[in-house]
Amino acid sequence: MLERRLVIVTGKGGVGKSAVAAALAIAARRRGRRVLALSMVGSGDGLATHLGTGPLSPVATELRPGLWALRIDRARALSEYLQSQMRVPAVATFGPVARAFDAFAAAAPAIREIVVIGKVLWEVRHDSWDIVVADGPPTGQIGSYLRAAKTIEELVPAGRIAEQAGWMDETLRDPDHTSLAVVTIPEELPTVETEELLAWLAREQVVGHRQIVANRVLGPLDVPATLPAGPAGDAARLHVALYREQRTWLDRLPADLELPYLFGLLTPAEVAARIADAWEAA
Amino acid sequence: MSTRALLVTGGGGVGKTTLAAAIGVVAARRGIRTLVVTVDPARRLADALGTTLGTEPQPLGDEPNLWAAMLDASASWEAIARRHADPAAAERLVANPFFHAATTQFPASQSYAAAEEAVTFIDARAWELVVVDTPPAAGGIDFFTAPRAITDLVGGRLLRWMTGGNLPGRRFFFDRTARPVLRIAGTVLGTQLLDQIAQFFMDLRTTYDGVRRRAKEIEDHLRGAHTVVVTTADPTPLREAVRFFRELPEVARRPEAVIFNRTLPTSWIDADPSGIPEPLASNLRRWAAEAHRQQELRAEFASRYDTRMAVVPWQPEPPTDLDALERLVKASEGLEPVLWDTVD
């Protein structure tokens, strides 16, 4: 996965999507690659804390040698997009026109999404980094981003925005270039949601390569036939029951990579580092 | 019959739907005529409820006081259009490709539809208690702000931007020289889409009065409802829970309590693993560290938000029938007092 130019990380809320994205960026950097980690939606705080840094800037900032980070700011990305891709004069991308266009983008399908995914792909085209790791939108929304270029092509047969959609679509579909990492945990709802996404991806064919990453996977525990009374026995019983439960979901939806359950109080940066260790060991 | 509404909110994957059902079971078994309204329950919870849920409330098992229904948020926009626009405009709206694309992506629409349906059940006055399992959507607080968001969309922030505030005639949209935004939008998007958008907003605008009235009613209902916030001691759901405590008081009642689901026994924290053979001792140490982590996060939450708290023990296997759902509440600490203070 780390050999590609772009890895987009998605997952149901709460499965550790940002932690995995940060870990991927850290693992790539340990291999000596120049990495840009970016947050596609929201404040980017999840990615930032896992990278061990404060709030991310909308401009790429070097956190440590070889590791850069930014968060996509929608208004700014829109303005950049209008100028560089749509050749709209700079003066028109601020003030009331930009606000009106932003209102468009909020209501019109695929426009907000294409601005964001366009920004991601533009960063990939940049020669400043070997790999871009994108902390993407959650499973429920990733489809509209991945499909934005197609949607635009269908909805807007004319207009400059349609011309741009073509190359974006191609880049996402190139399996040597782009990979989608779907993070899940072995529980019912995340499994079902991941299966739905996989079915959708199979239908739409919008990304060339994808990988399933199961997070918080418990290891097996060899327990004696009779367990002692008290906490040790209870903890063993809980572990074994949870392990069995997890395996039924992993049997149903096998993962390309299993990441370990991390016990106890850890900072987000420690979590990301431990996941990166596990990634390298795998 | 006076109806109380209890909204069970929280982030995704915390066991909210299961707890909403469990609360429904204990309330019903206490003799309270109860309806549980749920969104898309997990397969095994649906099995536990022992029935295939439909959008119409139906009695559960042999329980004399328990009903359940599933929220159908899918066909919502079409319903809004047909309810509030004149037939010709509604037809045009539904057929407009822009309508289809815009409405499926407007994040508040699912929450609004769910809220509207939930309020319909509350209004029916057929139950003493309606327990609503709110959709996770893009942050559960949406459920409360959706009516306003819908009114704003229909009222046309975009429309106002395009026209400068006056309700426009159709001609206005085609006079692109009048407003630079339309010139730019035409270049970027193409004129065909722009025409569809214009038609969409003009038709949508005719639904404004109806939508605004209904949205207001829904907002008033949500404002009066009681809320409990479900979370686990994990960062993402906790952030979501924090949002409810910070933001909900601005739009509705403050949450009655926070419910920590999947809680490990605090007795594990200081359990002594000496004399215990491996691998059980190491396993206990790991889970004790988890129990400690959970305790720390609960204590931090309680001190910051000064709220009532309930803890529900971690059950490795999901409940398989109504009795198991009831046991979940009975095994909890502090949940029943919160419930009876709220609904009795």
- For position A150, what pLDDT does the model report? 83
CA pair distance A178, A7, nearest whole angstrom: 6
- Average pLDDT value for residue range A119-146: 91
* Contact partners, residue B310, CB within 8 Å, separation at least 6: B257, B258, B259, B260, B332, B333, B334, B335, B338
Calculate mean pLDDT across residues A114-123. Answer: 90
Mention every residue, 6+ apart, whose C-beta is less than 8 A from residue B241.
B10, B11, B229, B230, B231, B258, B301
Burial class of B113 by CB neighbour count within 10 A (0 to 12, 13 to 18, 19+): buried
Testing the interface with B: which of A188, A194, A223 to mutate, by most B Cβ within 10 A?
Answer: A188
B4 phi, psi to nearest 5 deg: -100, 145
CA–CA min distance B109, chain A (Å): 12
Q: How far does Cα B137 stand from its chain's mean position? A: 7
Residue A245: its pLDDT value, please?
93
Tell me which residue in A86, A157, A232 faces B192 most closely, judged by beta carbons. A157
Least confident of A126-140, B96-110, B189-203, B217-231: B96-110
Task: Tell me the H-state helices in chain B.
Answer: 16-29, 43-49, 76-84, 87-95, 97-105, 108-123, 142-155, 157-163, 170-174, 180-189, 191-205, 208-224, 235-251, 280-305, 322-330, 335-343
The pLDDT score that the predictor gives to residue A258 is: 97
Which fold, A6-222+254-281? Rossmann fold (3.40.50)
The CA distance from B316 to B311, in Å, is: 15
Q: How far is CA A127 from the centre of its chain?
A: 21
pLDDT at B165: 45
DSSP calls for B67-80: EEEE---TTHHHHH
The per-residue b/e assignment along B248-265, b for 16 or more CB within 10 angstroms, e otherwise, is: beeebeebbbbbbbbbbb
Q: Which of A100-104, A114-118, B87-91 has the lowest mean pLDDT?
A: A100-104
A258 strand-pairing partners: A214
Give the phi and the psi of residue A53 in degrees, each rounded to 5: -135, 170
Domains of chain B, residue spans: 4-75+107-151+221-265+278-343, 85-105+155-210
Average pLDDT value for chain A: 89
Give the residue, A202 or A153, on which the prediction is more confident.
A202
Chain CA centroid to CA A198, Å: 15
B88-107 residues touching A, CB cutoff 8 A = 97-98, 101-102, 104-106
The CATH class given to the B4-75+107-151+221-265+278-343 domain equals: alpha beta
Contact check, Cβ <8 Å, B287/A109:
no
- Give the pLDDT confidence score for residue B329 in this predicted structure: 95
Nearest-CA distance from A176 to chain B in Å? 30
Q: Cβ of B316 and A245 within 8 Å?
A: yes
**How far apart are the C-alpha atoms of A280 and A263, rounded to whole Å?**
20
Taking the C-alpha atoms of residue A189 and residue A192, their distance in angstroms, rounded to an integer, is 5
Per the CB < 8 Å rule, is A161 touching B190?
yes
B167 has pLDDT over 50? no
SS3 A73: coil
A231:B277 CB<8 A: no
pLDDT category at B89 given cuts 50, 70, 90 is confident
Which residues from A are below 8 Å from B47, CB to CB?
Answer: none
pLDDT band at B215 (very low <50, low <70, confident <90, very high): confident
A245-279 pLDDT per residue, tens: 999 999 999 999 999 999 998 999 999 999 999 99
pLDDT at residue A91 is higher than 60: no
Span B211-229, average pLDDT: 89
Beta strand pairing status for A35-39 and A131-135?
parallel
| Averaged pLDDT, A76-85 | 78
Taking a contact as any Cβ pair under 8 Å apart, which residues of chain B between 130 and 169 contact chain A? Answer: 136, 138, 153, 157-158, 161-162
Angle between helices B208-224 and B76-84 (to 10 degrees): 120
Q: What is the rounded CA–CA span in Å between residue B219 and residue B252? A: 8
* Selection from B319, B144, B293 nearest residue B232 by Cα: B293
Q: What's the CA gap between B157 and B163, in Å, rounded?
A: 10
How do residues A12-69 score in pLDDT, each as one tens digit?
988 999 999 999 999 999 999 999 999 999 899 999 999 999 999 999 999 999 999 9
What percent of chain B has a predicted confidence (pLDDT) above 70? 80
Q: Binning pLDDT at 50, 70 and 90, where does residue A92 land?
A: low
Measure A249 CA to nearest chain B CA, in Å: 13
- Tell me the mean pLDDT in the region B66-75: 76
Give the integer Cα–Cα distance in Å for B286 and A242: 14
Tell me which H or E stretch contains B308.
Answer: strand B308-313
What does the block give as tokens for B136? 């996770």
Can you tell me the mean pLDDT for B151-170?
57
3-state secondary structure of B186: helix
Distance CA B16, CA B312 (A): 12
Collect all residues of chain A within an 8 Å Cβ-Cβ radius of residue B106: 107
pLDDT in tens, B201-214: 777 777 778 888 88
DSSP for B90-157, please give it: HHHHHH-HHHHHHHHH-THHHHHHHHHHHHHHHHT---SEEEEE---TTSTTHHHHHHHHHHHHHHTH
One-letter amino acid of B147: P
How far apart, in whole angstroms, are the C-alpha atoms of residue B185 and residue B58?
50
Q: Token pair for residue B252?
A: 């509705």
Query: Chain A contacts of B192, Cβ < 8 Å?
Result: 156-158
Q: For chain B, what is the mean pLDDT?
A: 82
Residue B168, pLDDT score: 47
Nearest residue in chain B measured CA to CA from A248: B317
